[in-house]
A and B are shown apart, each in its own frame.
Chain A
Amino acid sequence: MAGPGRGVGLAEGVFIALDAIWANKLRSFLTVLGNVIAISSIILVVTIIQGVNAEVTKIFTAEGADIFTVRRESLVFSQEEAMAMRSRPRLTREDARFLRETGTAFEAVVESADGSGRVEYGNESLGGVAIEGRSWEWGLIDGNGLEAGRYFSPLETNRARPVALIGIDVASELFPGADPESAIGRRIRVHSLHYEVVGVMKTRGSSFGFSRDEVVVVPIRMFQRMFGSRNSLSFSIKPRGPEFVQPAMDEARTLMRIRHRLRPADEDDFGISDSSTFLDLYNQFTAGIFGALVGIVAMALVVGGIVIMNIMLMVVTERTREVGIRKAVGATYNQVLWQFLVEAVTLSVFGGAVGITLGYLAAAAIAAFTPLPFVLATWSIVAALVTVIGVGVVFGIYPASRAAKLDPITALGYE
């Protein structure tokens, strides 16, 4: 007995459907608008998130994946938690010294504080430059390297010498046309204090379009002299080796609890995080976006599917006589069902294809006009196609069965 394998083949069914789509261009486009919106938003959002992912991963891994940070603040998710942290003790230089002297798993403990201010040289003046206070150990863990000059010495950190390292952008803007080497030894003003440039840093590149080279690094004690010492420090800690990351984090936590005289039942009054902490947080965040996207897309697809179902019901009515002819010359229920199902799926996939193209173009446009990189995920296209095929089958089956059930005599008499 004739099954769905015989009769109008897949290629021919698709051809019939494309022919009908072409014959009713505007109607076809409106029919699949739901699919177009759903699929283009999938492609667009996935592409943007992939681009942001690439940037974020670059930032969090830039400093070296094994380096972790001790801060006064932990990651918080509510106002109450944020308020509670205000009573926490500040992290001080003495805390850092204690970690260095007592810790066994640390290779380096860098004291850090960050601010921003104006940098001047002669008539050149740069506002809003990132100012980073660092202890000399920063030179040990900085993977970025120097274009010219040197890092701070221990003595310069401890005696608060006015020496500074400058980012490559600061160098080129304060000393236009001069090579990095010639910047060494020049005297600049940072936040109204005089400094001698001892080093020029290699480029750190940019993230999200913002240069990370507009920066001045000064000894931590000089930073405190400029910005006061009431602000908490944070400590960047490099373990003795990659296998010591967890022991070193455990040790830092224990030592900080001792230092802060916490009892076993007390919670930590400081936060420890490594790059994966932020990546995890970020991934949770993007998972939230994906979840919301799936919801929106599902709604658009249901609406799109219902429109496709309606149009297919109309198509079946319009082509009742055709169904009658096909049945008269021997088409079975399954063969007619198959033909209209292929047509519904083709219509749905057509919408999906338009959506993929629009989403792709929109993502490419965003990549062209913003600093986000263009990362097109192949899986998003595959997922989009599988989805629209599914929509076509689910919403096409009812109209197709209506066509397949038509009585040939009635269908042939239909005008």
Chain B
Amino acid sequence: MNETTAVPTAPSGEPIIKIRDLKKIYDMGRVKVEALAGIDLDIHRNEFIAIMGPSGSGKSTLMNLLGCLDTPTEGNYTLSSHEVSALDDNELAEVRNREIGFVFQTFNLLPRATSLHNVELPLIYAGVSGRERKKRALEALDIVGLAERSDHRPNELSGGQRQRVAIARALVNKPAILLADEPTGNLDSKTSLEVMDLFIRLHDQGQTVIIVTHEPDIAEYAHRVVTFLDGRIESDVRQAAKRLDTEAVPG
């Protein structure tokens, strides 16, 4: 039995993400492709947002910009009071390291490294020393329920477990936003539920979660759905999020 929460009201206060007239234009030589045609978007702390849209709608471009993997052609993007559009590559790397936790469709774990080492990775680049690093990585693995698999390599884990390791890696630096790109795209429906349950729990604990997806049933778990079409926001809807029947999901 699934349940839903009440439709939330728009939060007030200073947003954690503030986007104004954001444009991304790809110069393909003779033609210029406008992937984002100047969008405005505010996201507040502890929102659970699904970004939807068909391929080519601009949602992947937005994901790259939100994740500080790319810089906009025009416009402003402020993330936790950093004006990201003005940063150089090294500063972007530091913002990615401290403010953003990525979760990818293909997990993107280092194949030859253990779960523990994969989760430690962001801490390595944050300059956290060895013992503290291990402690925090184990804590993150514990949150996703995989502390006892810390010495396993990705090929010794199931798909769902791999994605949970990836989520632990995303969490370990206590980022401002958790940015997930089709996180259930490579998982069967049962494991998808496990992973979504994890996102819901993290959101309940105060985490800001942004999920990019084209699957409507995944978007149903979000409190707000932003839909893109042709580089513009077509709709921005707050909704009563579907809740999982926790009985049906193993811890």
A residues apposed to B, CB below 8 Å: 1-2, 6-8, 12, 19, 23, 321-322, 324-335, 408-409, 412
Contacts and interface: CB of A to CB of B under 8 A. Distances in A.
Nearest to A9: B124
B213 interface: no
Contact of A331 (B67, B102, B108, B125): B125
Interface string B53-65: 0000000000010
Nearest to A331: B125
17 contacts: A2-B93, A6-B124, A6-B126, A19-B112, A23-B112, A321-B108, A325-B110, A326-B121, A328-B67, A329-B122, A330-B125, A332-B89, A333-B93, A335-B125, A409-B64, A412-B69, A412-B104
Contacts of B91: 1
Q: Lowest 3 A-B CB distances belong to which pairs?
A: A330-B97, A6-B127, A330-B125
Interface string B118-132: 000110111100000
Contacts of A7: 124-125, 127
A243 to B, nearest CB: 66
Interface in B204-219: none
A412 B104 CA distance: 9
B69 A331 contact: no
A1 B90 contact: yes
B44 interface: no
Nearest to B126: A330
Contact of A330 (B64, B93, B110): B93
Contacts of B125: 2, 6-7, 326, 329-332, 335
A408 B71 CA distance: 12
Contact of B102 (A321, A329, A333): A329
A412 B64 CA distance: 11
Given A325-B108, A329-B169, A330-B98, A408 B126 contact: no
Interface in B83-127: 89-91, 93-94, 96-98, 102, 104, 108-110, 112, 121-122, 124-127
Contacts of B102: 328-329
A408 B96 CA distance: 11
Interface string B13-45: 000000000000000000000000000000000
A249 B94 CA distance: 77
A332 B64 contact: no
B139 interface: no
B70 interface: yes
Nearest to B107: A325
Given A328-B102, A331-B125, A333-B93, 14 more contacts: A1-B90, A1-B94, A2-B94, A6-B127, A325-B109, A326-B125, A328-B69, A328-B96, A329-B102, A329-B121, A330-B98, A330-B125, A330-B126, A335-B125
Chain A interface SS verdict (over half): helix
A236 B12 CA distance: 108
A234 to B, nearest CB: 73
Contacts of B93: 2, 327, 330-333
Given A322-B110, A325-B108, A409 B69 contact: yes
Nearest to A7: B125
Task: Find the residue from A7, A23, A324, A332 having the highest chain B CB count within 10 A.
Answer: A332
B108 A324 contact: yes
Contacts of B121: 325-326, 329
A333 B89 contact: yes
Contacts of A19: 112
A23 B64 CA distance: 34
A28 to B, nearest CB: 15
A2 to B, nearest CB: 6
Given A2-B125, A335-B125, A409-B64, A330 B94 contact: yes
A3 to B, nearest CB: 9
Contact of B108 (A1, A6, A332, A412): A412
A2 B127 CA distance: 8
A13 to B, nearest CB: 11
A12 B110 CA distance: 15
Contact of B90 (A8, A322, A333, A412): A333
A1 B110 CA distance: 25
Contacts of B124: 6-8, 12
Contacts of A330: 93-94, 96-98, 122, 125-126, 173
B249 to A, nearest CB: 28
A244 to B, nearest CB: 70
Interface string B121-155: 11011110000000000000000000000000000
Contacts of A332: 89-90, 93-94, 125
Contacts of B112: 19, 23
Task: Find the residue from B69, B109, B112 having the highest chain A CB count within 10 A.
Answer: B69
Contacts of A412: 69, 104, 108
A322 B113 CA distance: 11
A411 to B, nearest CB: 10
Contacts of A1: 90-91, 94
A295 B102 CA distance: 52
B66 to A, nearest CB: 12
